[in-house]
């Protein structure tokens, strides 16, 4: 008999080639599966919620695993962490309902892109921020103005990398806000799902607005062009973190989505 469990997994992405398992490169999925098989040799591959890029961090990667026996959640958490490196940790464990699949039943996600601002990169947080070097302050007000046309449901082809294999470029962005923090600013993206590199391209384009290299009023036209070449650079991966995932409320896993959604 198989026993399903839902895990919340966090990892610092610098030494990972993304979440998805790789043939010869390190991945979050690969590390977690190796840890699980250390005491559950026949366990199937863990299934995650999202495919974070190489170098991208996660605080709330949702993962479904199956074990051959019914574990007490804390003991399962401790057993997994005993076989994991320090840059990846299982943060929470709970029994999962039959029929639940994290990727299929996620209704919204929150990504945060962290910018470091100021004269020099803070070495204590540099691994988790993109430090934007500039002679004058980044115009966060202009960046905030630029976000308005991006909200809602749109064709985000201009913010989609060439390798993206999604069936459609249409996505819904529920919220995009810019928050000042000590030493920098956080760009908070909340949406139903995201295209490959979408958040990083949006972040890179908004930074161009903040630097005065493109007008704050240009985002609507940029969406309409549906041309990746018209958008800004892809921001580096170290600034990005998957912070939260909301699932269909019928599964009883975590808080209900503030944006509604299936079930």
* 3-class DSSP state of 216: helix
Are the C-beta atoms of 93 and 78 separated by less than 8 Å? no
CA distance 197 to 130: 15
* 3-class DSSP state of 243: strand
Phi then psi for residue 165, to 5 deg, are: -110, 15
CA distance 184 to 67: 43
**Among all chains, which residue has been given the structure tokens 């599966």?**
33
Within 8 A by CB and 6+ apart from 94, the residues are 5, 6, 73, 253
Out of 53, 70, 139, 155, which one is annotated catalytic? 53
C-alpha torsion sign, points 236, 238, 240, 242 = positive
Are the C-beta atoms of 201 and 159 separated by less than 8 Å? yes
Crossing angle for the helix pair 28-37 and 73-82, nearest 10 degrees? 110
70 is catalytic: no
CA distance 130 to 199: 13
Which residues carry out catalysis? 53
């Amino acid at each position: 008999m198989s026993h399903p469990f839902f895990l919340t997994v966090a990892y610092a992405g610098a030494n990972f080639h993304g979440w998805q398992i790789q043939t010869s490169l390190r991945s979050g999925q690969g590390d977690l599966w190796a840890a699980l098989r250390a005491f559950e040799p026949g366990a199937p591959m863990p299934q995650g919620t999202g495919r974070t890029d190489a170098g991208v961090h996660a605080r709330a990667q949702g993962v479904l695993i199956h074990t051959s026996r019914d574990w007490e959640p804390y003991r399962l958490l401790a057993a997994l962490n005993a076989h994991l490196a320090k840059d990846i940790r299982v943060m929470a464990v709970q029994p999962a309902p039959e029929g639940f699949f994290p990727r299929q039943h996620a209704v919204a996600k929150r990504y945060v892109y962290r910018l470091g601002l100021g004269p020099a990169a803070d070495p204590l947080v540099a691994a988790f921020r993109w430090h934007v070097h500039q002679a004058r302050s980044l115009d966060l007000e202009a960046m905030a103005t630029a976000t308005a046309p991006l909200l809602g449901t749109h064709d985000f082809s201009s913010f989609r990398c060439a390798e993206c294999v999604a069936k459609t470029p249409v996505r819904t962005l529920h919220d995009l806000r810019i928050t000042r923090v000590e030493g920098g600013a956080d760009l908070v993206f909340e949406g139903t799902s995201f295209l490959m590199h979408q958040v990083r391209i949006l972040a890179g384009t908004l930074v161009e607005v903040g630097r005065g290299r493109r007008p704050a009023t240009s985002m609507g036209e940029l969406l309409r062009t549906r041309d990746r070449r018209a958008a800004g650079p892809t921001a580096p991966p170290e600034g990005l973190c998957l912070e939260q995932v909301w699932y269909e409320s019928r599964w009883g896993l975590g808080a209900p989505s503030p944006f509604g959604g299936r079930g």
